[in-house]
Chains A and B, each alone.
Chain A
């Protein structure tokens, strides 16, 4: 991340939002709103003094999922890039009561700027890579997962607890401050279940195994891995699974249902053990829910903004699941990482590298190959009604001076315009009306065998 921030050819716009995208491959115009962070990025050295001295404390930290606190001027986490802090207007004492400005007084570089406004930037770019990531699945929708009970945490919350830089300094502790004697890690929470997400989130098995390993490292607690199918698919993963087994974690293969309940001050995990077919009850102190990945809440909005499709579960759709996994149906727009579908870090890095290479390749070449099948408008037949422009899923058609015009770079050749045109002025190469009619007539001239 640090080298991205320092690279001379990379301009990093954090705390910003894309508002409009127009143009086509090689000539995109992107309007970005850079939100006011009330810190001058050019002056700030990231020393952290403002954060240290800020009197507005005890604000739940988003990075620590509310398990820790932060100040009103803060960096999301110590390694954040850029290291410039952001001022949270909603919690800042100055914005609330009109008094304080402690950070401004103390900043040695005079980098605090309470007058800063949102800025709108117009960028001209040739290619676009989307790497907007995922949202962790919300376990409160999952029936009987027990989320909301004391000492039932999601995988991500547990990750913060077990992290040396986390709110507990890496100590796994129960709500009452004592170390747990037993922990159950439940796999497949909200994944591979038709009621929530039909797909496998791919990362939960391995992070759940990692937790078992870390728990053995930091506590003496007994660990139960309550899984359905162990999906240790990657390089070195199966070996890790074997290692965790040898370390003494108890593996319970469960049926589809699992239930977490509170009983006598304990948590009780009920499940059906698949091999024996018997019901098992595990009394534990702590439950970790192996939650999966889901598309970001605003994925639909983002997809519309960039003119790309989404697959059934809501992740961005690649051009071809096997042959073009990083390209989208919109030329010049690439996707990488979990925004395309659940994937782990190695796969994300590989896909990101591929997307970067594909984008560079396109720019280096300086020209693009067009699809052979694109729409054309016969100008003398066009009445300029605009039906085709409305029908086009890619906004590739504009009516200019009463005549529809197709942008050859944006057109993907679906032909929806050709069948919408009331005066047959739009024709799709290789799928023209004449060709389709001839094909149909040829087929109908043969007798049914």
Chain B
């Protein structure tokens, strides 16, 4: 079976802790997700998401605190505005908008985390591998920087 590669950008206060709880409570979720921990979902720039698709991800999921519960007051408000815009732009670039998902996961919502990852993995699996022109197949060594 085709196994998609999914990168998750999780805020450290809510969603990463929620994912941690999913682990310690031994909930099952697909191993297709690879997690990058960030201080806040507001740290996720659109460029980073695009770059993640270019560098080999078939799906990207951003998780943060529920609106109103952000550790940094309003960092996630930015995320809530950015992601829908980026989803629309992805369509123009020939990437299915469903490959990018935003989800609010609090530190206690281990079930919600696991369920979301299961759902998203199936969504991306049904979309198939992401075909992009000029996409790098393997991560190049020492390549860094946004531009």
- Which A residues are within 8 Å of any B CB, using their own CB? 307-312, 317, 329, 373, 391, 393-394, 412-416, 418-420, 424, 428, 431, 433-434, 436-446, 448-449
* Bound-complex Cα distance A434 to B143 (A): 8
* Bound-complex Cα distance A312 to B68 (A): 6
Q: Is the CB of B48 within 8 A of A448?
A: no
* Residues of chain B in range 3-49 having any CB-CB distance to chain A below 8 Å: 3-5, 7, 31-32, 34, 36, 38-40, 42-48
CB contacts (< 8 Å) of A428 on chain B: these are 39, 43
Q: Is the CB of B31 within 8 A of A444?
A: no
Given contacts A416-B40, A441-B139, 8 further A-B contacts (CB under 8 A): A393-B42, A393-B72, A433-B146, A441-B56, A443-B34, A444-B5, A445-B56, A449-B31
CB < 8 Å neighbour of A416 from B43, B52, B69: B43
Tell me whether B131 is interfacial, beta carbon within 8 Å: no
Question: Given A310-B68, A393-B72, A424-B147, do A415 and B36 touch, yes or no (CB 8 Å)?
Answer: no
List, sorted by A's number, 16 A–B pairs whose CB atoms are closer than 8 Å.
A311-B68, A394-B72, A394-B73, A415-B39, A415-B75, A420-B45, A428-B39, A431-B39, A434-B145, A437-B145, A439-B36, A440-B7, A440-B52, A441-B55, A443-B7, A444-B34
CB contacts (< 8 Å) of A442 on chain B: these are 139
CB < 8 Å neighbour of A434 from B7, B39, B43, B144: B144
Q: Is the CB of B55 within 8 A of A440?
A: yes
Closest chain A residue, CB of each to CB of B142: A438
* Bound-complex Cα distance A434 to B146 (A): 7
CB contacts (< 8 Å) of A394 on chain B: these are 72-73
Minimum Cβ distance to chain A for residue B6 (Å)? 9
Q: Is the CB of B5 within 8 A of A329?
A: no
Tell me whether B138 is interfacial, beta carbon within 8 Å: yes
Q: Is the CB of B51 within 8 A of A437?
A: yes
Q: Is the CB of A437 within 8 A of B38?
A: no
CB contacts (< 8 Å) of B78 on chain A: these are 391, 416, 419-420
> For the complex, would chain B's binding face be called helix, strand, loop or mixed by DSSP majority?
loop
* Bound-complex Cα distance A449 to B66 (A): 31
Tell me whether B123 is interfacial, beta carbon within 8 Å: no
Q: Is the CB of B66 within 8 A of A416?
A: no
* Bound-complex Cα distance A420 to B77 (A): 12
Question: Given A438-B144, A444-B55, do A415 and B38 touch, yes or no (CB 8 Å)?
Answer: yes
Closest chain A residue, CB of each to CB of B38: A431
Closest chain B residue, CB of each to CB of A373: B39
- Which B residues are within 8 Å of any A CB, using their own CB? 3-5, 7, 31-32, 34, 36, 38-40, 42-48, 51-52, 55-57, 66, 68-75, 78, 82, 138-140, 143-147
CB < 8 Å neighbour of B39 from A309, A414, A446: A414
CB contacts (< 8 Å) of B74 on chain A: these are 393
* Bound-complex Cα distance A317 to B40 (A): 16
Closest chain A residue, CB of each to CB of B56: A444
* Bound-complex Cα distance A449 to B73 (A): 38
Q: Is the CB of B42 within 8 A of A415?
A: yes
* Bound-complex Cα distance A317 to B72 (A): 10
CB contacts (< 8 Å) of B51 on chain A: these are 437, 440
CB contacts (< 8 Å) of A373 on chain B: these are 39
Q: Is the CB of A311 within 8 A of B43?
A: no
Minimum Cβ distance to chain A for residue B67 (Å)? 9
Q: Is the CB of A413 within 8 A of B39?
A: yes
Q: Is the CB of A329 within 8 A of B139?
A: no
Q: Is the CB of A445 within 8 A of B69?
A: no
* Bound-complex Cα distance A312 to B45 (A): 26
CB contacts (< 8 Å) of B147 on chain A: these are 424
Q: Is the CB of A419 within 8 A of B72?
A: no
Q: Is the CB of B48 within 8 A of A436?
A: yes
Minimum Cβ distance to chain A for residue B53 (Å)? 10
Q: Is the CB of A416 within 8 A of B34?
A: no
Q: Is the CB of B42 within 8 A of A391?
A: yes
CB contacts (< 8 Å) of B55 on chain A: these are 437, 440-441, 444
Minimum Cβ distance to chain B for residue A140 (Å)? 26
* Bound-complex Cα distance A414 to B138 (A): 30
CB < 8 Å neighbour of B139 from A413, A445, A448: A445
Q: Is the CB of A436 within 8 A of B36?
A: yes
* Bound-complex Cα distance A420 to B69 (A): 21
Question: Given A329-B71, A416-B75, do A443 and B48 touch, yes or no (CB 8 Å)?
Answer: no
Closest chain A residue, CB of each to CB of B11: A414
* Bound-complex Cα distance A448 to B42 (A): 28
CB contacts (< 8 Å) of A317 on chain B: these are 69
* Bound-complex Cα distance A412 to B145 (A): 23
CB contacts (< 8 Å) of A434 on chain B: these are 144-145
* Bound-complex Cα distance A449 to B31 (A): 7
